[in-house]
Amino acid sequence: MVITKRHATLLKKLYESGTEFDVSSWETFDKETLWHLELAGLVKPVGVEMYDLTFAGNILGETLIEMVERRILKDPQEWDDSFRWIGSEVISMIRYSKSALSKVRGNIMEALEKRGFAKEGILTPYAHTLDEIYNAAHPRLVINSKIANYLRKLLPGPGESNSLPLEGEVLLQLESMRMIAFSVPKSDIYALTGLGQQIRAALLKGLVVTDELVLNEIVLDTVAKVYRGENVSDFEKNVLFERGLIDWTGQLHPMAEHLYLAWRIYREGPYMTTPSFQISEDEVQVLRLIKTLWKEHEKNPDIFPEEKQIKERVNWEWKRKDLTIKLALYNLEGFGLLKSREHTHGGRKTLVYELTEHGEEVLEDQKSRLRTITGMGVKSITMTRKEFAAPNVEWYEQARVEGLVSDSAPTSSGYLYAKLSTTVERRPLITKTEMKVLRKIPFKTGVFVEDLNLSEDERIALDSLEAKNLVEIFPTNLVTLTTAGQLMKRALSAAPDDVESPVTPLVIRLLQSIRKIGVQPKEKRIRINPESWKFIERELGVDPETFDDTINLCRISKFITENALTEAGTALLMAIDELAKREYPWVEI
């Protein structure tokens, strides 16, 4: 949805007419403006060259006129031609601010105030009304040859807005259809949304472009029917065949996978989360060292990657002062890059580490350039899958520094870490500092990062919590707990303040084993029979010393009693289950 001077002027005129309107005598410019409003779901055709406002259009027209009458806004005819009253960046600012009890600050406040959506640091009722209008308006989806050719040559972003091809009408149509978004507060950065990215991918993979309509809601619906194995008519088959979406046998072309995901986004709703990921240079070097130790193990069985030998072989300057070798190993396992297991050597049982498939992928990527990958850089890519979000300038620049974005598109590295953010099995480490930060963040509402008064170590911990998908930091510098973060905060409510790491991957694996093997009586509290412990130890697959240490840590952190899982332990498992949930599987481009 985008409302500039031309859109607001026309919308005001239509609302004041109070009836259906005939556009047969309208000038081309006004018809193009009307088309933008139709694509945004604010007007609808009701006959041949006859239109009417939709429910959302009526409410927006009423809101605009009221704001003009109360002198909150000037009459649209007095606006500057470049003024964007409403756009994806405005929706973003309002959505983010609602999470902070409608509080706004700094340049976000200034941007919203000049549009009448904030006053004295608080969102106005008009901002909340706009948010409701945005939810109520269902945009059209109409891709003609001009838009299709523009999308083909357009890089998906994130990228600098001043690099966009100069075809203003097409850009307005794309934003009206929620296929492109701009950054807060000044639209410096653009990105195709999840819907836009998937449609562009289908075009690049062979979707046939003719002089006529290329794609609309009906074509998407037909793709979805075939994709789900439903019967389609001969006419529908012909529609797909003409666009190269099926062959003569009725089999879908691989590009249809992108259009099916586009259909799900369009019909079932956009992506809502911003998954992230991180790994430091030190942790990459630990991965390399573990791989080296296994290679040496092939010739010398006395060498293997247990914690003791890993520590002895670290020969570089350790950069992450907040991270010990042990915590680095936990972190790598928590992000699904390592797995730990029992290893027997000379009658001694110990815990060793192996790279997972994802760990190997990271090592391969880091061959050409060793570097830290931050959550900020990764989310600059994953946030673009939402309906109205693009990274701010700081995040975009961070992604460029890390080699995740280049020339207005993700690099191969960017695509890798974005993929890992949604596919790794997470069993996150929670350190004492991270627990302290979690406890500072309100359970339900957001808080500005500066209001948390974090030390340097705590600020690092906050970024780590976001990479673990337990908090989300918005471009407005507002932080909120995710659903998994709320559950993790509950789980840690009884943990002592001085526990170095109350949650580790082994703690989570132990609790998961207890849930699998334990007994759940009528009161729904999982109990552990004494004879079950040997099966739990076998399920966990670690050496006896590690097993005993993990049980003790679980008891100290109040996750288990002598014979049962506590409410805190249950909340921790619920947090891990929440982290394992997936939105629509993203189709890589």
pLDDT computed for residue 262 by the predictor: 96
Please report, for the chain, the start and end positions of each structural domain, with discontinuous segments joined by +: 3-91+118-136, 142-268, 281-366, 440-460+472-580
Using DSSP's 3-state secondary structure scheme, residue 19 falls into coil
Sequence letter at residue 283: E
Residues found in the chain: 589
Element (H, E) at 532: none
Give pLDDT, residue 100.
Answer: 87
pLDDT tens sequence across 375-394: 999 999 999 999 889 999 99
Task: Report the pLDDT averaged over residues 576-583.
Answer: 92
Q: For residue 522, what pLDDT is reported?
A: 58
The pLDDT tens digits for 454-477 are: 999 999 999 999 999 999 999 999
Per-residue pLDDT, 449 = 95
Q: Report the helix count and the strand count for the chain, using DSSP H and E.
A: 26, 19
Contact 400, 298 (CB under 8 A): no
Q: How many CB atoms lie within 10 A of CB 160?
A: 14
- Estimate to the nearest angstrom the gap between the alpha carbon of 104 and the chain centroid: 23
Q: Calculate the average pLDDT of the chain.
A: 94
Tens-digit pLDDT profile for residues 417-457: 999 999 999 999 999 999 999 999 999 899 999 999 999 99
Which CATH code for domain 3-91+118-136?
1.10.10
- DSSP-derived letter for residue 3 is E
Q: State the alpha helices, DSSP H only, in 26-144.
A: 28-39, 55-69, 88-98, 106-113, 125-136
pLDDT of residue 211: 75
Distances (CA, A) of 566 to 382, 562, 581: 35, 10, 23
pLDDT tens, position by position, 24-46: 999 999 999 999 999 999 999 99
Q: Which CATH number is associated with domain 440-460+472-580?
A: 1.10.10
pLDDT of residue 523: 60
Q: Kindly report, residue by residue over 249-306, the tens digit of the pLDDT.
A: 889 999 999 999 999 999 999 998 899 999 999 999 999 999 999 999 999 999 999 9
Over the stretch 159-212, which tens digit does the pLDDT of each residue have? 999 999 878 899 999 999 999 999 999 989 999 999 999 999 999 999 998 878
What pLDDT score does 290 carry? Answer: 97
* 179, 195 contact by CB (below 8 A): yes
Contact 46, 143 (CB under 8 A): no
Q: What is the pLDDT of residue 59?
A: 97
Question: One fold for both 281-366 and 440-460+472-580?
Answer: yes
Mind spelling out the 3-state secondary structure of 458-492? HHHHHHHHHHCCCEEECCCCEEEECHHHHHHHHHC
Helix axes 375-382, 456-467, angle to 10 degrees: 40
Domain 281-366 has CATH 1.10.10.10: yes
Separation CA 338–CA 287 (nearest Å): 8
Residue pLDDT, tens place only, 143-172: 999 999 999 999 999 999 999 987 889 999
What is residue 390's predicted lDDT score, i.e. its pLDDT?
A: 93
CA-nearest of 481, 491, 507 to 575 is 491
